[in-house]
Amino acid sequence: MNYVIENVNISAKTLRFYEEQGILPNISRDEKGRRVYTEQNIDWLAFIRCLRETGMSIAKIKEYKELFEAGNTTFLERQEMLKNHKVEIQKHIEEELKHLEEINYKLAMYELQKDEVAKNPDHVFKCHGMEVNILN
């Protein structure tokens, strides 16, 4: 387990949670009852982590896992799930980029007016049509 925790960057608590939720299947144990992770388990963990970090719910991951376990008859369903998730990620990225542009605009306005504000405490700070008196 320590190898998995250190190399896949997943906590023991998360590993147990994934097992409890049924999204981390077929974890064998050694004679002392310790979990033994195969390379396939580690690959699956990396994929789960990727999906979680992109916002996929545990329920959706479980659905994907069940489809995967059903074999190639679910190939197109799984592909469609991933395509739909990709679209959601792209929408989220576009939204975040809009927020980043807004912040960059505000920072540019600060930069443009920095010298004036330093010279003149009564300078009216302008940003997106808002006028704010900067008080020192």
Read off the pLDDT of residues 5-62 as tens digits, 9 standing for 90 and up: 777 788 889 988 999 999 988 888 889 988 888 888 999 999 999 999 999 999 999 9
CA distances from 107 to 104, 119, 120, 122, 132 (A): 5, 19, 19, 20, 15
107, amino acid identity: L
Q: What are phi and psi of 133, to 5 degrees?
A: -75, 125
Is residue 86 classed exposed, middle or buried when 0-12, 13-18 and 19+ CB atoms within 10 A define those classes? exposed
CA distance 67 to 105: 45
Model confidence at 136, pLDDT cuts 50, 70, 90, reads: very low
129 DSSP 8-state letter:
T
pLDDT in tens, 67-122: 999 999 999 999 999 999 999 999 999 999 999 999 999 999 889 888 888 898 78
pTM above threshold 0.85: no
Q: Please give the C-alpha separations between residue 75 and each of 3, 23, 24, 42, 55, in angstroms, as whole numbers.
A: 31, 18, 20, 22, 22
Q: Name the residue among 53, 43, 61, 56 with its Cα closest to residue 7.
A: 43
